[in-house]
């Protein structure tokens, strides 16, 4: 079972070494396009909460490099008035629900488009393209994940795979498949809402953040679950 973490324990991105992080209103950016000389030194002022998003803490009013943008998190991620700057995400893969069909000629809707992210309806799965089709995701290690046992839970900075991927880790001992959050794409900071007011972190399928098929409901992290 996934638990609803506190807002400050954001299980998202690792270090800020050119990897992507999810922010509101992100655009297409090549992280490698910024020369190292333009990258501020995060130093010791960057907190673990900001670092988990792949971000760096900068003083309020200070401008970050062109491939970064301030986060819109509902809780402070840096100390004092410092601001957490994270790398911009690529543009989304959809604008309408029909865009989520990997076979565009099909009239039925295979998924839901939420802020550029496709959430696929059973029996469809998110594909490497970010769209929906019937091909199930590969085994955990083939997706670049790591099976974790004793305990069967992901570490900070990781996202869990879907249930079908978890099952490829074996069934004799409880295990889950975990992915570095930096390897899971989305143009937004996505969380998943159930019946309670607290949220769940998204799952990672074929390199894309999504919510479990059928439920929970996707929301922007800054909006929370209402």
Tokens (6 digits) for 58: 């900068």
- On the question of pLDDT at 221 being above 90, the answer is no
- On the question of pLDDT at 114 being above 80, the answer is yes
- On the question of pLDDT at 30 being above 90, the answer is no
160: left (phi over 0), alpha (psi -120 to 50) or beta: beta
* pLDDT tens-digit series, residues 160-197: 999 999 999 987 889 999 999 888 888 888 899 987 77
Contacts of 79 (CB under 8 A, 6+ apart): 45, 47, 57
Give the 3-state secondary structure of residue 43: helix
Q: What pLDDT shows up at residue 24? A: 39
Q: Comparing C-alpha atoms, which of 97, 107, 129 is closest to residue 205?
A: 129
Q: Return d(Cα 149, Cα 22) in angstroms, integer.
A: 28
pLDDT interval class at 198 (50, 70, 90): confident
Instruction: Indicate the Cα dihedral angle 176, 179, 180, 181, nearest 10°.
Output: -100
Q: Return d(Cα 190, Cα 179) in angstroms, integer.
A: 16
Q: What is the largest CA-CA distance in the chain?
A: 54
154: left (phi over 0), alpha (psi -120 to 50) or beta: beta
Kind and range of the H or E element at 163?
Answer: helix 163-167
Give the 3-state secondary structure of residue 15: coil
* pLDDT tens-digit series, residues 58-83: 998 888 887 777 876 656 788 888 98
- Predicted TM-score of the model (pTM): 0.62
Mean pLDDT of the 135-163 span = 92
Tokens (6 digits) for 106: 């099909």
Share of the chain above pLDDT 90, in %: 38
The chain-wide mean pLDDT, for the chain, equals 77
Kind and range of the H or E element at 48?
Answer: helix 48-51
* pLDDT tens-digit series, residues 14-23: 333 333 333 3
Contacts of 68 (CB under 8 A, 6+ apart): 55, 56, 85, 86, 87, 88
Would you give the distance in Å from CA 64 to the centre of its chain? Answer: 22
pLDDT interval class at 158 (50, 70, 90): very high
């Amino acid at each position: 079972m996934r638990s609803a973490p506190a807002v400050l324990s954001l299980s998202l991105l690792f270090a800020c070494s050119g990897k992507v992080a999810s922010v509101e209103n992100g655009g297409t950016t090549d992280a490698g396009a910024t020369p190292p000389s333009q990258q501020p030194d995060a130093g010791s002022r960057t907190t673990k909460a900001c670092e988990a998003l792949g971000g760096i803490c900068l003083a309020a009013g200070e401008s970050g490099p062109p491939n970064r943008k301030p986060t819109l998190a509902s809780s402070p991620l840096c100390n004092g008035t410092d601001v957490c700057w994270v790398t911009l995400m690529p543009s989304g893969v959809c604008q309408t629900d029909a865009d989520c069909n990997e076979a565009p000629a099909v009239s039925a809707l295979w998924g839901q488009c939420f802020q550029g992210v496709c959430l696929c309806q059973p029996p469809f799965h998110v594909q490497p393209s970010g769209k929906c089709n019937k091909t199930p995701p590969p085994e955990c290690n083939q997706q670049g994940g790591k099976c974790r046992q004793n305990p069967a839970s992901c570490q900070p900075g990781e996202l869990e795979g879907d249930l079908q991927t978890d099952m490829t880790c074996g069934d004799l001992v409880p295990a889950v498949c975990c992915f570095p959050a930096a390897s899971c794409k989305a143009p937004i900071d996505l969380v998943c809402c159930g019946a309670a007011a607290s949220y769940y972190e998204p799952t990672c399928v074929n390199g894309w953040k999504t919510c479990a098929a059928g439920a929970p409901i996707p929301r922007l992290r800054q909006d929370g679950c209402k």
